[in-house]
Structure 1
């Protein structure tokens, strides 16, 4: 059937693009070299203390399941009530039937266990943040053939904090992503300022401020960036690319997870590829 042929050709082309990106990565400087050229030496990375992932044999399917926005929201609720929860307590963002499936799935892969009349996590987790950073780094590696690391710390005298995700794309192009699992109402001015400070210090070709939400970015986050730019006397506007994807010039991008994380990252990367990232 024509539809089936089109799908096969599209899948083939995508796999070829991934293969070519991976081959390009082998012929270009490694991520640590790209960072060293900027005077950055990795002090710590990928801590894993609060990483909620299963054993290796379940990892591939878990990665695929994390693509579902409802599953990620469900995990946040589970972490908040990790010592004891029932299906009813974590049924906010999906139907009861889907939530029961998610609970059964987590039990099967060993992330939760039966506890009293409900369930509990098998280990203490402070927040969903590290798991989301891991997932975004995996997206860059698996979907775009990039070299990526997460939870990175540098010994820098002026600008501190973690660099949530760093990736090497298109050969030696450095991408920095700030990854937020909190909703827009829990983001404050100092977080935007800290992100812009790290962008200024690291000087990546591409920077992302990513929020794992399907809420509008124009309501709060975009105005916060506009105000931060004014305070820094930066003559740059926050322009819409499409839907809830925005850019500051062609170097800083503000995105959320509406529709698909992969699709939104792909849109940004295609935008950068078709325009000069050094503009």
Structure 2
């Protein structure tokens, strides 16, 4: 059905247009925080993003030696598993209640590490309690990866970014910028069996709205990605049937030259670094 343009007599006059605009309230001037290139790149893409406080089991302003000690511990997969379990206990816990994967002596060492960093207190009967309870481990994972992208790879970083994109749900876990490129990382702290198709679909909606130069889907797990994670991601690709994923090394996969999937096998940040390097090379001019 063809829609006919309005008759000339139905259109507002020039005076009416000017009067209408002159009577309108001024638009709000939204400023981008200075020195935050990730948010600036989002603003240039038309998004008025904001940063929300991360849900952390430690003070968000942790600095200095205490922060470096925490980062050093978080670099160990076993410690991340332990801290995740301690958070999930939502209260008092014994070291072995926080993990199924460590020997008692090592679990106790990790609990004492938390006490030494002033993140936990001892309680009677060999129990412990976190000083700063958190709802989940997700915020800690985002904080750790953002910190390491900043100090190890020189990225400008923002974590816990509220996207505010129309018809696109969820947050941008970590966004980072370097070399004029925008990097988006989706962080998953649960095992692959908990990954649902709607989560993957939401991730792709954010990628398509944001159009970053490079996206990395990060699973903080030592388990294989090929059993469930890769098929779920492949099913959401625009090209169907989806091309076979390309293994770069270990559990580091390229779904496209601009979309990567990594797990934590051997070294989470090392794997992310490999994916970043591969993606930046894909964006570079052809070799001579």
Against the structure 1 CA distance between its residues 46 and 136, is the aligned structure 2 distance closer, same or farther, given a 3 Å change threshold? farther
Map of 2:105 onto structure 1 = 97
Residues 1:274 and 2:284 aligned together: no
- How many aligned residue pairs are there? 248
Which of these residues, 209, 218, 225, is aligned with residue 210 of structure 1? 218
* Post-superposition offset of 1:160: 2.1
Residue in 1 that maps onto 2:56: 51
Work out whether residues 165 and 177 of structure 1, in 8 Å CA contact, stay in contact via their aligned partners in 2.
yes
Partner residue of 1:107? 115
Change (3 A) 1:83 1:235: closer
Of 111-120 and 201-210, the range deviating more from structure 2: 111-120
Based on CA coordinates, which of the two structures has the bigger radius of gyration?
2
Cα deviation for residue 78 of structure 1 reads 0.5
Kindly state the Cα deviation for residue 241 of structure 1 after the two structures are TM-superposed.
1.8
Aligned equivalents of 1:256 and 1:93: distance in 2? Answer: 18
**Aligned-partner Cα distance in 2 for 1:188–1:277:** 34
Contact 2:58 2:132 (C-alpha < 8 Å) held by counterparts: no
Q: Could you say which structure has the higher helix fraction?
A: 1
Determine whether 1:140 maps to 2:149. yes
Per the alignment, residue 237 of structure 2 pairs with 229
For CA contacts below 8 A with separation 6 or more, give which structure has more relative contact order: 1
Question: What are the within-5 Å matches in structure 2 for residues 1-279 of structure 1?
Answer: 30-43=37-50, 45-48=51-54, 50-53=55-58, 55-57=62-64, 58-117=66-125, 118-169=127-178, 171-229=179-237, 233=240, 236-276=243-283
**RMSD (Å) for aligned C-alpha atoms:** 2.2
CA distance in 2, matches of 1:258, 1:84: 30
TM-score by length of structure 1 reads 0.82
**Unaligned regions of 5+ residues in structure 1, if any?**
1-27
d(CA) in 2 for partners of 1:257, 1:126: 22
Paired position in structure 2 for 1:17: none
Deviations 1:218-248 (A, max 9, x none): 0110111222237x74754422222211112
Shift of the 200–91 alpha-carbon distance from structure 1 to 2, 3 Å rule, reads closer
Note the alpha carbon deviations across 1:107-130, whole angstroms, 9 max, x for none: 122211123321111232110000
**TM-score (norm. length: structure 2):** 0.80
- How many Å separate the matches in 1 of 2:216 and 2:285? 15
Structure 2 unpaired stretches of 5+ = 1-34
Change in CA separation of 1:88 and 1:36 when aligned onto 2, cut-off 3 Å: closer
Q: Distance in 2 between matches of 1:277 and 1:36?
A: 25
Distance change >3 Å, CA 36–CA 91, structure 1 → 2: closer
